[in-house]
Amino acid sequence: MEILYQDNRILVCIKPSGVVSTDEPGGMPQRIRDCLGDAHACVRTVHRLDAAVAGVMVLARSRMAAELLSEQVRARTFEKEYLAVLSGIPDAPEGTLRDLLFYDRASRTARVMPAPGPDVKEAVLDYRVLGTADGCALVHIRLHTGRTHQIRVQFASRGMPLAGDRKYGAAETDFPIALWSYRVRFFHPQTGLAAEFSHLPPEIAPWRRFQTILQEV
């Protein structure tokens, strides 16, 4: 577990792909407790990443810190930026995607809906194409809402599933979903000061083909 920063109120780390964000056996809080060598340490999830998604994640080290950070998430002052590799290239080099999403708990998939309805929620993100290669696009994404599978389904519904995301129509690959939590910004729950943490994805497929561009992000 790569820890980027920790104090007595927060811990910032790199979440591995394949690990759930919630406090359950094998989840991130338990893994952090194992890493700290304290099975009873207070470690609380305040924002979630899909199990298949890796990258920067913030966890709270106290109940009050968790409440304050969760309030920032609800107020959308907790900012989240992602990097993704799309199987396809957007028509516009940058833009805003706005959809109505419904998450089907039975199938564990989200889908775009044509009209408002029960459990249908608005999903909004901004994207910017950073580069293209071999029919794929590296994009920077800023989330304005945090719906389940939001980034994955919004691009997939436009014919550009994330590379490696077989659930939403991408081709079979030997690497995880190409979605990386790149940067978070928030206010420290104890000091109130602005905090920012970022980390680039590893030099493995499919990120490797965009390494020169990534170094300039």
Task: Check if the beta carbon of residue 77 is closer than 8 Å to that of residue 186.
Answer: yes
Which residue out of 34, 38, 50, 104 is catalytically annotated?
50
Give the tokens for residue 105. Answer: 């708990």
Measured CA to CA, the distance from residue 73 to residue 29 in angstroms comes to: 18
Annotated active-site residue 134? The verdict is no
**19 phi/psi in degrees, rounded to 5:** -115, 130
How would DSSP label each residue in 15-84?
A: EPTT--SSSSTTSHHHHHHHHHT-TT---EE-S---TT-EEEEEEESSHHHHHHHHHHHHHT-SEEEEEE
Taking CA atoms, 179 is separated from 28, 31, 52, 149, 167, in Å, by 18, 21, 8, 11, 14
Tell me which residues are annotated as active site.
50
